Amino acid sequence: MLKKNIAIAISIGALSLTGCGLTPSAEQAADAAGTTSTSQAAVPSSTASAKAVPSSNAASKAAAAKATATRAAAAKAVATKAAAAKAAAKTAVAKTAALKESAAKAAAAAKAAPAVVAPAAAPAAKPAVPAVKTVAPKAPAVPAKPAPAPATAGNGTQAASTLGWGPVVAGDEFNYTGAPDRTKWSVYDSSGHAGKGLRSPKAWSVANGVATVSGDSAGTTGGMSAKFANQKYGRWETRMKTNQRDSEYHPVLILWPDSKSSTCAEIDYAESTSDTALVKFFLHYACSGSGKQTYSAKAVDTTQWHNYAVEWTPTGITGYIDGVKTFTDTNPAHQPSGSMHQTLQLDWFPDGSRTTPSQMQVDWMRVYK
Q: Where are the domains of the chain?
A: 2-130, 159-368
Task: Please tell me the predicted confidence (pLDDT) of residue 21.
Answer: 39
Tell me which residues of the chain have a pLDDT lower than 50: 1-56, 93, 110, 112-153
Task: Please tell me the predicted confidence (pLDDT) of residue 260.
Answer: 74
Task: Please tell me the predicted confidence (pLDDT) of residue 287.
Answer: 72
Of 173, 194, 287, 182, nearest to 225 by C-alpha is 182
Range list of β-strands (E), the chain:
170-172, 185-187, 190-191, 198-199, 204-207, 210-215, 220-226, 234-242, 249-257, 266-271, 278-284, 293-299, 306-313, 316-321, 324-329, 340-348, 358-368
For residues 221 and 215, what is the distance between their CA atoms, to the nearest angstrom? 4
CA 68 from chain center: how many Å? Answer: 91
Task: Please tell me the predicted confidence (pLDDT) of residue 313.
Answer: 98
Task: Please tell me the predicted confidence (pLDDT) of residue 105.
Answer: 62
Burial 149-181 (b: 16+ CB within 10 A, else e): bebbebeebbbbeebebeebebbbebeeeeebe
Task: Please tell me the predicted confidence (pLDDT) of residue 227.
Answer: 98
Task: Please tell me the predicted confidence (pLDDT) of residue 145.
Answer: 35
pTM: 0.59
Under CATH, which architecture does the 159-368 domain have? Sandwich (2.60)
DSSP state, residue 204: E
For residues 360 and 229, what is the distance between their CA atoms, to the nearest angstrom? 23
For residues 269 and 340, what is the distance between their CA atoms, to the nearest angstrom? 13
Task: Please tell me the predicted confidence (pLDDT) of residue 291.
Answer: 74
For residues 15 and 136, what is the distance between their CA atoms, to the nearest angstrom? 91
Going 271 to 275 to 276 to 278, the CA torsion angle's sign is negative
